[in-house]
Structure formats: structure tokens, C-alpha cells
């Protein structure tokens, strides 16, 4: 009964979702919403990686942040124990260069570290879905999915492209981004947008598993 509504929508593709193993890097405002959506959609296994513990300042946008002091990956592993393996580690360039990605059907990038994002693209671009900048925005209707090479109006994506070119990267992968201009100077955030980024990541992942 748990996934009966998912089965009705996904049909025979539901078995592909159940048998998938996804890697989600970063479970903050964007990644946490993505993990929640993937788990409720019936994804069989997820390995989630994040070094951080919830802080009070996360409570405007992050699922689980009422559990101040709890490791973010542990919160999701406790909530979905039959689906999630937690890894409490920092995803930096060295981590990306050394980690074995071969077991995963898809890799979801919800991290902020630019050098790590570039290293991740080199290692996993054929099965990568990446989030661009969700902060400073108010309008989720301006969120889009496109190739990393075709985004418009997203400063993080522009910088990402520059760094990819500098590193000699020639591949391609989809990204979630917003065409909305930033609404503030600092890293203000709104769950209506950060959560929507996570749901867009989830939707793209589910459709790619079909």
C-alpha cells in the first residue's frame, strides 16, 4: 500500500525505480527535498553524503532542521531506514576524485563547492544531474532544466561553465537552474524555491530511470 499511488502513475517503470541505487550529494535545502521526494516515489536505495549537522539557521528552508545538532544524513536514514545509507563526509575535490561511483544509476549534485562540482562532472557526467543556484530567489515558476551549456541568468552556472572549460571538460549533463534575477545581495533563501529545486531534481531523476 505504501507506493500504490506511485505504481498507478509509473506503471511498469516502477520496478526500475525500485531497483535503482542513487547517490545524493548534499542534503540541505535542495538535496533534502530531493531525498524526501525520491524516497516517497519508491527509489529502492539511496546513498546520501553530507558532513553537516542541523543548525537553527537552517529552519527557514531545510527538512529535518527542527532536529538541531543531528547529522543531516542521519535524519534521513532514520526516517527512511530501508532505503537510505548515510555517509557523514565532506564532498570536496579529493573526495570526488577518489570515490567509487560505479554502483550508482544516477548521481545528484546538490553541493556548493565549485572545485568538487567540476571534479564530479569529470567523473560522472553521463549519469549526473546537478543543481545550480537556488538562493536569493522568490519565484519557483522560473526554475528550468537544461544542459549546463545552455542556462541563462544563473551566475553559478556561468561560473561552473567557465571552470569546466578551464579544466578541459567536453561532456554534457542536465542542470536545474532559475532565470530569476537575485533578489538580495546576501545568501537569503526561501523554501518555496530551494524545495522546488529539490523536487525538480527528483522529477528529472525519476524520468531518467524509466
Q: What is the CATH number of the domain that holds 93?
A: 3.40.50.720
The tens digit of pLDDT for each residue in 110-129 reads: 999 999 999 999 999 999 99
Contact 116, 124 (CB under 8 A): no
The tens digit of pLDDT for each residue in 70-118 reads: 999 999 999 999 999 999 999 999 999 999 999 999 999 999 999 999 9
Q: What is the pLDDT of residue 188?
A: 94
Strand 143-147 and strand 128-131: the pairing is unpaired
Range of the domain at 181: 4-209
Contact 39, 82 (CB under 8 A): no
Q: What is the pLDDT of residue 82?
A: 97
* Number of domains present in the structure of the chain: 1
Amino acid at each position: 500500500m505504501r507506493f500504490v499511488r506511485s505504481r498507478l502513475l509509473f506503471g511498469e517503470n516502477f520496478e526500475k525505480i525500485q531497483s535503482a541505487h542513487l547517490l545524493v550529494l548534499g542534503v540541505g535545502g535542495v538535496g533534502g527535498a530531493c531525498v524526501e521526494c525520491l524516497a516517497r516515489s519508491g527509489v529502492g536505495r539511496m546513498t546520501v553524503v553530507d558532513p553537516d549537522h542541523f543548525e537553527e539557521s537552517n529552519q527557514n528552508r531545510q527538512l529535518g532542521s527542527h532536529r538541531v545538532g543531528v547529522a543531516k544524513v542521519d535524519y534521513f536514514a532514520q526516517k527512511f531506514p530501508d532505503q537510505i545509507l548515510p555517509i557523514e563526509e565532506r564532498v570536496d575535490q579529493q573526495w570526488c576524485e577518489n570515490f567509487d561511483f560505479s554502483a550508482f544509476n544516477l548521481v545528484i549534485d546538490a553541493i556548493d563547492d565549485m572545485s568538487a562540482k567540476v571534479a564530479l562532472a569529470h567523473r560522472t557526467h553521463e549519469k549526473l544531474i546537478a543543481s545550480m543556484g537556488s538562493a536569493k530567489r522568490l519565484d519557483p515558476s522560473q526554475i528550468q532544466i537544461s544542459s549546463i551549456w545552455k542556462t541563462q541568468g544563473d551566475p553559478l552556472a556561468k561560473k561552473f561553465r567557465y571552470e569546466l572549460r578551464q579544466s578541459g571538460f567536453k561532456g554534457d549533463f542536465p542542470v536545474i537552474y532559475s532565470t530569476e534575477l537575485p533578489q538580495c545581495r546576501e545568501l537569503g533563501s526561501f523554501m518555496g524555491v530551494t524545495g522546488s529545486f529539490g523536487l525538480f531534481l527528483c522529477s528529472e531523476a525519476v524520468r531518467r530511470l524509466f
